[in-house]
Each structure stands twice: as structure tokens, then as C-alpha cells.
Amino acid sequence: MSKPAVIYYSASGHGTAMANRVAAAAEAAGTEARVCHIAETRDPQSFAQNPAWTANHEATKDLPAASGEDIVWADAIIFGSPTRFGGQTSQFRAFIDTLGELWAQGKLADKIYAGLTSSQTAHGGQETTLMNLYTTLMHFGGIIVAPGYTDPAKFVDGNPYGVSHVSGPENKNPLDEAALNALDHLARRVVSLADRLGAERRLSFQLGERVDGPPARPAGAPRSRRRFRSGFAVLGAAIDRCARRLQMGMGVGRGGREPLAAVVGGASEFPELPQVR
Ligand SMILES: Cc1cc2nc3c(=O)[nH]c(=O)nc-3n(C[C@H](O)[C@H](O)[C@H](O)COP(=O)(O)O)c2cc1C
């Protein structure tokens, strides 16, 4: 089962509500989700006149703050930040700026990522906030799982890029049904795809294929084609696998997932895989 982490910054609490909802939906899908707030960087005195910001800060400040290790632990990460002038908050970016070393070690790559945001006005820069977040995730080598219109709920909330909430002119709107359904759907989709990716990885290892890049070559050892397989070679292996499955009459699309276990000799490690939606 996948290990999702919801890593978010929230000032006045809308992001906290979104993070808790999406994590609850991920847990309902059978995972143990981590919810990690990103630490406040501002002096609480500077927002003391804002009761919602103060209350949210008080409620979260003693909980463990997010660290890069939460990303390393997880195989699926849902990031959240309010929209500020069409982008993420400085607190969120400060957290991202701590990740250089993990990035350099390749530890942020090959994970599933998705995004959440909220803004006071409708649209209000929500889509640019998410799109800009995804630029960063591409630098990670992440696998971005956009919700698209893969569920009827997405035709109601209307955001194919992630999930967003409009907190309104008074910044007090609670999450409405459209946002709640969209959060639930995003959680299910992320968990489902992370499970499938995990199963595919285990299968690749059982078939003797490496999916995490070449190991270090011992000094003096001959260069072999196998040691230095490129990303294209890995893709080639995936195509080979599909071809093998087709030969075995299993198919490679939706209807062809269940017999994955047969490829590795009926291992019970691969029960019926969930659907994406
Ligand atoms: C400095 C600043 C900039 C903001 N920029 C925008 C914006 O560009 N568009 C918008 O609609 N709301 C904007 N907002 C409002 C927040 O996005 C909104 O209150 C959000 O729902 C807060 O989420 P939170 O409760 O998780 O902190 C801004 C708020 C602040 C403090």
C-alpha cells in the first residue's frame, strides 16, 4: 500500500482543512497518510491582528513541521499552499529551498506529486499557483498526477490542475461540497496510481530489471550494457513487458491489470490492482 504525505502551508486555516480532508480520504483508501504543516517563518506578532491566522498558528505550531525526510518517506506527496499574488507563499518556497541536497541525491525523483491551493477570489491566481508548483516538481523528476476531468466531481469544481478552494471576500468560506468531493477524488487517484507504480516497481525488480538507475561500477569492472541502461532502455523493458503480457493474452490496459501476478509466477504479492478513478 502506498505511503502518501500531505505537505502544506496554511496561514488562516483553509489549507489546513484541505490537507486534513485529503489525508482522511487517502486513509479511507487504505493508507496511513502523513499530514505535515510547513513551519511559519513570520513573527506571530506580525499577524496578531488576524484571528484566523493566529488560531491556525496556535493549533499547528507544536506539531512536527514538515521536513525533506517526509518526502523521502512518502511515495506520493500532495503539496498545498495558499495563492499569494498568483504564486505560492514565501513560507512554502522557504521549505522548497531546503530540499537542494535531497534533490542532488535524486531522492525527490520518481514519486507521485499533486497540488492544492486556495485563494480569496474565484480563480484569483489558483491555476498559476499550481502550474508554478508543477514547474518545481518537474525539476524534482516527479510524476505529476493532475486530476484532469477523470471524475464527475471535476466537472463541478472545474479545476483540472489540482484542487482549489475559494475562501471568499471575508476569507471565511468553509470548504464546499465541490471542493470536498474534489479532494476525496484527488486522494483516491493519487493513492491508486501510487499503488500501481509500486506494484510495477516490485514486478520490475522480480524480473531483474532496475528502475532506479545504474548502480556504481566497481573500479576496474568492465562496462556492460546492462549496468548502463539508459532511461530509454528502461522504457524498452516496459514495452517488452507489455508485449509479453499481450502474448500471454493478458492485455495491457485497464482490463489487463489483474493477472500481473501471473508474470512473476502467481506471486500473491500482486492482488487485484485498483482502478485509477
Ligand atoms: C499577501 C497575500 C497575497 C494574496 N494574494 C492573493 C491572490 O493573488 N489572489 C487571491 O484571490 N487571494 C489572495 N490572497 C488571499 C489568500 O490566498 C486566501 O486568503 C487563502 O484562502 C488563504 O489560505 P490559508 O487559509 O490556507 O492561509 C492573498 C493573501 C495574502 C496575505
CB of 101 closer than 8 Å to CB of 140: no
Residues 145 and 237 in one domain: no
Query: Ligand 1, from 9, 57, 84: best to mutate by most atoms within 8 Å of Cβ?
Result: 84
Residue 212 lies in a domain: no
Element containing residue 8 per DSSP (H, E):
strand 4-8
3-state percent helix, strand, coil for the chain, nearest multiple of 5: 45, 10, 45
Domain co-membership, 163 together with 228: no
1-5, 8-12, 263-267: which has the minimum mean pLDDT?
A: 263-267
**41 has a pLDDT exceeding 80:** yes
Does residue 240 sit in the same domain as residue 105? no
Residue 204 lies in a domain: no
Out of 177, 196, 215, a domain closes at 196
Co-location of 140 and 245 in the same domain: no
Q: Could you tell me if 50 and 146 lie in one domain?
A: yes
The DSSP output letter for 40 is P
Q: Is residue 203 part of a domain?
A: no
Alpha helices (H) along the chain? 14-28, 51-60, 68-73, 90-96, 100-104, 126-140, 152-157, 177-206, 231-247, 260-263
The answer to whether residues 46 and 133 belong to one domain is yes
Same domain membership, residue 26 and residue 120: yes
Do 69 and 170 lie in a common domain?
yes
Identify the H or E element spanning 47: none
How confident is the model over 79-107, as pLDDT tens digits?
999 999 999 999 999 999 999 999 999 99
Q: Which residues line ligand 1 (CB under 6 A)?
A: 10-15, 82-86, 118-121, 124-125, 167, 171
CA of 82 to the centre of ligand 1 (A): 6
The answer to whether residue 211 sits within a structural domain is no
Stated length of the chain: 277
Domain identity same for 22 and 85: yes
Residue 215 lies inside a defined structural domain of this protein: no
Residue 92 dihedral angles phi and psi, to the nearest 5°: -65, -45
Exposed/middle/buried for 210, CB within 10 Å: 0-12, 13-18, 19+?
middle
- Alpha-carbon torsion 120, 122, 128, 132, what sign? positive
In angstroms, the CA 75 to CA 109 distance is: 10
Q: What is the pTM of this model?
A: 0.79
One domain, residues 258 and 153: no
Q: Give nearest CA residue, ligand 1 atom 31.
A: 84
What separation in Å is there between the alpha carbon of 119 and the centre of ligand 1? Answer: 5
The model's confidence at residue 126, banded by pLDDT at 50, 70 and 90, is: very high
Residue 229: per-residue pLDDT: 47
Say if residues 182 and 155 touch (Cβ distance below 8 Å). Answer: no
**Which grid coordinates belong to 74?**
512518502
Same domain, 52 and 177: yes
Domains contained in the chain, number: 2
What's the chain's Rg over C-alpha atoms? 21
Q: At what angle do helices 51-60 and 14-28 cross, to 10 degrees?
A: 40
Q: With 70 as the cut, is the pLDDT of residue 123 above it? A: yes
What are the φ and ψ backbone dihedral angles of 119, each rounded to 5 degrees?
Answer: -145, 165
pLDDT digits (tens, 9 = 90+) for 155-178: 999 999 999 999 999 999 999 999
- CA 39 to ligand 1 centroid distance, Å: 17
| Torsion angles phi and psi, residue 176, rounded to 5 | -90, 175
Same domain, 117 and 245: no
Strand partners, 65: 37
Helix axis angle, 177-206 relative to 14-28, nearest 10°?
50
Least confident of 24-33, 143-152, 230-239, 253-262: 253-262
CATH number at residue 44: 3.40.50.360
Question: Residue 61: inside a domain, yes or no?
Answer: yes
Residue 78 within any structural domain of the chain: yes
Domain span at residue 270 reads: 224-277
Residue whose Cα lies nearest atom 3 of ligand 1: it is 84
Within-domain flag for 201:
no
CA 164 to ligand 1 center in whole angstroms: 12
Ligand 1 centroid to residue 120 C-alpha, Å: 6
